[in-house]
Chain A
């Protein structure tokens, strides 16, 4: 288990990470979410002792650099383009293998695993973002570490690459490893992560499992579209059921589809559409991080 305790970092007067604590379990993928500028990358650097700050991170009870070979404990991908552009992919990994006391045969194995064997002798300066991410992932996997810390690993990957990454990280976690991964692709994260850590403006907003995070922050609702809207509205008002009119129908909270269907049937109202609206990770994320955005764009208006 990785235990991050009271991590704190200031850039001048600005508090980038404000005393956050969380844990990353083995056997699970833990998603790390937050708006732009929330402090995700800084948190990851603090966890790896790459940034000066307060607090500490323990990996199975010890600090990372208390291990003789830290690379066996954690593999990292912090930036896609972390390589010298004219040093071949093979040499790049070979250097990391030598530094980490990792058998050199692992270089070919991980290149094969990420699908870069044919590009091993090429200079990565010519690589696309997706290929660079694959090389970064190969570097992270080199020592078959207990934990992976990955910052936006899906950026630049094609759809096939994203599916591959998801399956790979899930199987890696299933194999008694821990994966800590940040991403802005919320739909992807909802399929990938078992647990979720959310931060905003450097503060911890949530540290829970995915199901609880979604259900705990956004409730499910029922959408119903009927033939006679005015009559159904009268019935809802009479029954004191709260609703929101949208998309030509009614969005009703705190009731299930069978109750709404029964209500319409009892009052002889023809129902065109009746369904449960399940909250998404995106809904929950937006709910939790409201007011925590560092940068806000203007929403388009229909004028």
Chain B
């Protein structure tokens, strides 16, 4: 298993797209944290006692898609470039390959979300300071943002991996990941109204406390987490069975 994990990490960090995605992530953190959240703060923003909490929450929400893209690529490259024939011949079991991918995606998602969560409020403070702005005393719900933020970041990447496992084809998986949270769930929300939070991405948004449908529901963050986990577990089981049974070509 140790070899499998090392190999999966090497797969992620030996291709150009990973560095492009991580570079974009850094640029966006600086832009949203330092400029939008700090330098460009309005008078009302500066009087908000939850300003830094909200910046952290929004940065995590906005940037979670990027490690999810890495997750999709990690899985779909196996089939796009026929690397699966090697991975599945070399490894003693297919399940081991899949578990290694889950672990690697989880670690990357948690580390990158953690970094975004730490950097965005610090950069916002630096931006305000650079523009000689002074913010009121802040109430920062540390424990709250840690578990909800980390779960959100992890969840987004894992659902990306699950989508890739189900769709397998790279473009299809990327398109699904990009349009499902906005377009598909957005359209479904017209019909489902307050029940929209039982859809996977809406549940995930609700868990973090962001998104359009949060106000429409009284689903608690912990219940939203359970709803979302339900999708992940069912999707993972189906994806796992398909991974075991489908031809590796």
**Least Cβ–Cβ distance between B241 and chain A, in angstroms:** 12
Q: Which residues of B contact A96 (CB under 8 A)?
A: 7, 86, 90
Q: Are A91 and B89 in contact (CB under 8 A)?
A: no
Q: Which residues of A contact B7 (CB under 8 A)?
A: 95-96, 98-99
Q: Which residues of A contact B93 (CB under 8 A)?
A: 65
Give per-residue flags for A214-230: 1 if the beta carbon is below 8 A from chain B beta carbons, else 0.
00000000000000000
**A59-80 at interface with B (beta carbon < 8 Å):** 64-65, 67-71, 74, 76, 78-79
Let me know if B175 is at the binding interface, CB within 8 A.
no
Q: Are A52 and B245 in contact (CB under 8 A)?
A: yes
Q: Are B92 and A70 in contact (CB under 8 A)?
A: yes
B17, closest chain A residue (CB): A86
User: How many angstroms between the C-alpha atoms of A91 and B89 in the bound complex?
Assistant: 18
Give per-residue flags for B49-90: 1 if the beta carbon is below 8 A from chain A beta carbons, else 0.
000000000000000000000000000010001111111111
> Out of A50, A65, A82, which one reaches B92, CB within 8 Å?
A65
Q: Are A50 and B3 in contact (CB under 8 A)?
A: no
Which of B8-16, B25-33, B132-140, B214-222 is found at the contact surface with chain A?
B8-16
Q: Which residues of A contact B190 (CB under 8 A)?
A: none
**B126-184 at interface with A (beta carbon < 8 Å):** none
Let me know if A100 is at the binding interface, CB within 8 A.
yes
> Out of A52, A83, A139, which one reaches B81, CB within 8 Å?
A83
A143, closest chain B residue (CB): B90
Q: Are A95 and B249 in contact (CB under 8 A)?
A: no
User: How many angstroms between the C-alpha atoms of A101 and B3 in the bound complex?
Assistant: 7
> Out of A45, A48, A49, A84, which one reaches B15, CB within 8 Å?
A84
Q: Are B3 and A99 in contact (CB under 8 A)?
A: yes
User: How many angstroms between the C-alpha atoms of A74 and B77 in the bound complex?
Assistant: 23
Q: Are B4 and A82 in contact (CB under 8 A)?
A: no
User: How many angstroms between the C-alpha atoms of A96 and B10 in the bound complex?
Assistant: 10
A123, closest chain B residue (CB): B16
Main secondary structure of the interface of B (DSSP, over half): helix
Q: Are B85 and A79 in contact (CB under 8 A)?
A: yes
Q: Which bracket fits the contact residues of A?
A: 20 to 34
Q: Are B82 and A82 in contact (CB under 8 A)?
A: yes
If A52-B245, A99-B87 touch, whether A81 touches B82 (CB-CB below 8 Å) is: yes
Let me know if A8 is at the binding interface, CB within 8 A.
no
Q: Are A71 and B89 in contact (CB under 8 A)?
A: yes
Let me know if B199 is at the binding interface, CB within 8 A.
no
Q: Are B16 and A50 in contact (CB under 8 A)?
A: no
Q: Are A50 and B14 in contact (CB under 8 A)?
A: no
**Least Cβ–Cβ distance between A69 and chain B, in angstroms:** 8
Q: Are B89 and A64 in contact (CB under 8 A)?
A: yes
If A70-B90, A100-B90 touch, whether A50 touches B83 (CB-CB below 8 Å) is: no
User: How many angstroms between the C-alpha atoms of A51 and B89 in the bound complex?
Assistant: 11
Q: Which residues of A contact B43 (CB under 8 A)?
A: none
Name the residue in A67, A74, A78 with the highest tally of chain B Cβ atoms < 10 Å from its Cβ: A78
Q: Are A87 and B14 in contact (CB under 8 A)?
A: yes
A67, closest chain B residue (CB): B92
If A68-B92, A86-B16 touch, whether A95 touches B85 (CB-CB below 8 Å) is: no
Let me know if A28 is at the binding interface, CB within 8 A.
no
Q: Are B81 and A45 in contact (CB under 8 A)?
A: no
Q: Are B245 and A50 in contact (CB under 8 A)?
A: no
Q: Are A85 and B81 in contact (CB under 8 A)?
A: yes
Let me know if A88 is at the binding interface, CB within 8 A.
yes
Q: Which residues of B contact A201 (CB under 8 A)?
A: none
Let me know if B210 is at the binding interface, CB within 8 A.
no
Q: Are B86 and A139 in contact (CB under 8 A)?
A: yes
Q: Which residues of B contact A70 (CB under 8 A)?
A: 89-92
Let me know if B122 is at the binding interface, CB within 8 A.
no
Name the residue in A85, A94, A98 with the highest tally of chain B Cβ atoms < 10 Å from its Cβ: A98
Q: Are A76 and B89 in contact (CB under 8 A)?
A: yes
**Least Cβ–Cβ distance between A11 and chain B, in angstroms:** 9
Q: Which residues of A contact B88 (CB under 8 A)?
A: 49-50
User: How many angstroms between the C-alpha atoms of A18 and B21 in the bound complex?
Assistant: 47
Name the residue in B15, B77, B90, B91 with the highest tally of chain A Cβ atoms < 10 Å from its Cβ: B90
Q: Which residues of B contact A100 (CB under 8 A)?
A: 3, 90
Q: Are B14 and A88 in contact (CB under 8 A)?
A: yes
User: How many angstroms between the C-alpha atoms of A86 and B16 in the bound complex?
Assistant: 6
Q: List 29 A-B contacts (CB under 8 A).
A: A45-B248, A45-B249, A50-B88, A50-B247, A50-B248, A51-B247, A51-B248, A70-B91, A79-B82, A79-B85, A82-B81, A82-B83, A83-B81, A83-B83, A84-B81, A85-B81, A86-B15, A87-B14, A87-B15, A88-B14, A91-B10, A95-B7, A96-B7, A96-B86, A98-B7, A98-B10, A99-B4, A100-B90, A139-B86
Residues on A lying within 8 angstroms of B by beta carbon are 45, 48-52, 64-65, 67-71, 74, 76, 78-79, 81-88, 91, 94-96, 98-101, 139
Please give me the 10 A-B residue pairs with the lowest Cβ-Cβ distance, nearest first.
A99-B7, A91-B14, A50-B248, A82-B82, A98-B7, A51-B247, A86-B16, A100-B90, A99-B90, A71-B90
Q: A52-B246, A87-B15 are in contact. List 8 more A-B contacts (CB 8 A).
A: A48-B89, A50-B88, A50-B249, A51-B247, A82-B81, A83-B83, A95-B10, A99-B91
